[in-house]
Amino acid sequence: MLMFPCEVVAADRALQFQRGWFAHPIFKNGDYPDAMKWQVGNKSELQGLPETRLPSFTEEEKNLIKGTADMFCINHYTTKIVSHLTARLTPPSYKYDMDVSEEEEADSPTTAISNQRAVAWGLRRLLNWIKEEYGDPEIYVTENGVATDIKPQLMTLTESSTPKRSAHYYYHVMKDNGFPLPDDEKILYGQFPKTFNWSTASAAFQIEGSWRAHGKGLSIWDKFAHTPSRVDNSDNGDIACDSYNKIDMDVEVLKKLKVTLYHWDLPLALQKLGGWENETIVQRFRDYADVLFSRFGSRVKFWITLNEPYIVANLGYGYGTFAPGIVGKQYIAAHNLIKAHAEAWHLYNDKYRATQGGLISITINSDWVEPRNLYKQEDVDAAERYLQFFIGWFAHPIFNGDYPELMKTIIRKRSLAAGLPESRLPEFTPDKIKRINGTHDYFGFNHYTTVLSYPVDLGKQQDYEGDRGTGTTHDRTWIESGSSWLKITPFGFRKILKFIKDEYGNPPVYVTENGISERGEVTLNDIHRTHYYENYINQALKATLLDGVDLRGYTAWSLMDNFEWAAGYSERFGLFYVNRSNPTLPRIPKKSASRYSSIITCNGFPDPWTP
Ligand code: NOJ
């Protein structure tokens, strides 16, 4: 922010009119602040009045007033941005006497009271101002708080007098007498096992471009991106990062290739037959896998069948915000995705494993979740539903057998209650349950963020949202990223890795994606990404060394800024910046690239104090 001297004087004047009006006589010299006397005196004269409208104290009164406080008590709620203004003369008023105009501090969160933003930094400035102005008095903040208007929460409160989350938070601040760095945020020095695998990821559609080269057919994402209003800024993947032509250069920085069979770009021809809604896709996916397994042969030792089936099903066939943009069909799409994965795994296991000796599994993604109010059972239950409807939906059939009980029970009950003859969640036959269960060589896991959960009753709404009955929100203190859904919450990474260990039989885990976006102004000094990787990877180290999670590898998403699906190129996840205004699309390393590389070289965080 640029500050001009007259604005600084205006800000001080505003403070003198508000705090100084009462504080100055008591804490300084028994009289009003000079700035007030000057302003009101001049204005009064300009208004043709015989004397100033500000009453004056006698010397005796001043002596009486001065020093009549043992401490400085301050009530504080908000901060405004002021600028100098020549205010009108009539009618005479306190407000016009100040000669300032006021604005809200637009970067801070709004509250339920209009014009009263919660400007945390303002309290610090104010305390410093009081210290400087009144000679370092003992200060007591006697009021400070925020108004909210979350109605459902208030209704529950009147019913049961449950403390809000903020009550517990404040209790902890008092108990800890401040903000000691919680143990889970302290850095753990140590290293990953020697065989640990480090990598970076990107995906074909997001970087390749050359959408029509050499007879390539259309995919559902080509169509989606060429449909108006589907992708931000009308971006598309036609050129993307041009990796199709720059393959030699891009591959040079990578040592070993891992291959994902399906990262969302389904051939449009298959979509015309119903895509993932049509059961025949299971056999087609198996045929396609057969082609890749035989062509790549033993050069590929690490296969991922499907990337993030949750997103394919829920965003592509549920909410319709991703290609192919279909709504309300997520359960059947998920059902076929799970079966397709299992068939590809069996194919590899039966026909290729012995000669090629690679690993094959699926990559499942999930947020971690905490109850919005840790002490409220409804929020705790909502968190459990959130997890089972997210990670459990795909992991349970593959690692434990069949859908999670919680999902089966809720969806059946709600379907029957709405008069349907059977559950909207498709059933696996006992044979299918067996065939799917165990189709994994490792747990492929993508993770980015944590949410807070609370119950939501959507009445009879017959869909995934209604079934899950869980709303989500974020903690205001969590640092933001370039994506609205992604807040920096490293602690959740460790917790969900432990959850995977406990819930799915301690499988070997490969983190196949983790990273953070930025948007807007480009800076190569991406400190928030560096901070993100340091903290998330350190939590992964804690999961490994302290919780005994069998973590075998970690992958940063993404190697370079690329086509972030419906957000186009506006959200940038890369360790390398791709300059899109230069037609050669150069890749330029950001600062996080060198930090990530040093973490890899050190295989973690060796103790700097150990010789
Ligand atoms: C998940 C997806 O696999 C990837 O394609 C996407 O770009 C990142 N997460 C970031 O949202």
What are the tens digits of pLDDT across the range 100-132? 999 999 989 999 999 999 999 999 999 999 999
- Check pLDDT > 70 for residue 153: no
Expressed in angstroms and rounded, the spacing between residue 274 Cα and the centre of ligand 1 is 24
Q: Note whether 342 and 283 are within 8 A (CB).
A: no
Between the CA atoms of 328, 330, 336 and 340, what dihedral angle is there, to the nearest 10 degrees? 140
pLDDT surpasses 90 at 397: yes
For the chain, give the mean pLDDT: 95
Q: How far apart are CA 221 and CA 216, in angstroms?
A: 13
Domains for the chain: give ranges and CATH numbers.
5-146 (no CATH), 195-369+437-456+488-605 (3.20.20.80)
Residue 162 to residue 455: CA distance in whole angstroms:
15
Contact 205, 237 (CB under 8 A): yes
- CA 464, 467, 469 angle in degrees (round to 5)? 110
SS (H, E, C) 201-262: ECCHHHHCCCCCHHHCCCEHHHHHHCCCCCCHHHCCCCCCCCCCCCHHHHHHCCCCCCEEEE
378 counts as catalytic? no
Q: What's the gap in Å between 90 CA and the centre of ligand 1? A: 60
- Ligand 1 atom nearest the C-alpha of 515 is 10
Cα separation values, 29 from 60, 65, 138, 303, 568, Å: 12, 8, 18, 78, 62
Confidence class for position 476, pLDDT limits 50, 70, 90: confident
Q: Averaged over 453-473, what is the pLDDT? A: 97
Q: What Rg do the C-alpha atoms of the chain give, in angstroms?
A: 30
Integer angstrom CA distances of residue 118 from 146, 167, 372, 442, 476: 7, 17, 20, 46, 11
Catalytic option among 133, 343, 370, 513: 513
How many whole angstroms from 606 Cα to the centroid of ligand 1?
30
Pocket around ligand 1 at a 6 A CB cut-off: 203, 206, 307-308, 446, 513, 557, 564, 573
Please state the atom number of ligand 1 nearest to the C-alpha of residue 565: 7
Which residue lies with its CA nearest to atom 10 of ligand 1?
564
pLDDT band at 159 (very low <50, low <70, confident <90, very high): low
Measured in Å, how far apart are the chain's first and last C-alpha atoms? Answer: 45
Token pair, residue 364, equals: 């499942």
- With a CB cutoff of 8 Å and minimum separation 6, the contacts of 90 are 47
pLDDT for the residue 528:
97
Residue 64: strand, helix, or coil: helix
pLDDT digits (tens, 9 = 90+) for 72-83: 999 999 999 999
Determine the length of the chain. Answer: 611
pLDDT at 129: 96
Instruction: Assign 27 a pLDDT band (cuts: 50, 70, 90).
Output: very high
Position 44 confidence tier, pLDDT thresholds 50, 70, 90? very high
Give me the phi and psi of 513, to 5 degrees please. Answer: -160, 140
Query: Which atom of ligand 1 is least distant from the CA of 486?
Result: 11
The answer to whether 513 is a known catalytic residue is yes
Instruction: Tell me which DSSP letter residue 36 carries.
Output: H
Classify the C-alpha dihedral 472-516-259-504 as positive or negative.
Answer: negative
pLDDT in tens, 270-315: 999 999 999 999 999 999 999 999 999 999 999 999 999 999 999 9
Atom index in ligand 1 nearest the CA of residue 446 equals 1
Distance 311 CA to ligand 1 centre (A): 9
Distance between CA atoms of residues 443 and 251, nearest Å: 26
**H or E element that contains 282:** helix 281-296
Burial of residue 302, with CB atoms counted within 10 A of its CB: 0-12 exposed, 13-18 middle, 19 or more buried: buried
Mean pLDDT of 525-535: 98
Does position 152 have pLDDT exceeding 90, yes or no?
A: no
Q: Rounded CA gap, 559 and 247, in Å?
A: 13
At which residue do the structure tokens 């990062």 appear? 241
pLDDT tops 60 at residue 470: yes
Distance from residue 515's CA to the centre of ligand 1 (Å)? 9
Query: Which CA distances in Å does 89 have to 34, 49, 98, 155, 448?
Result: 20, 12, 11, 48, 57
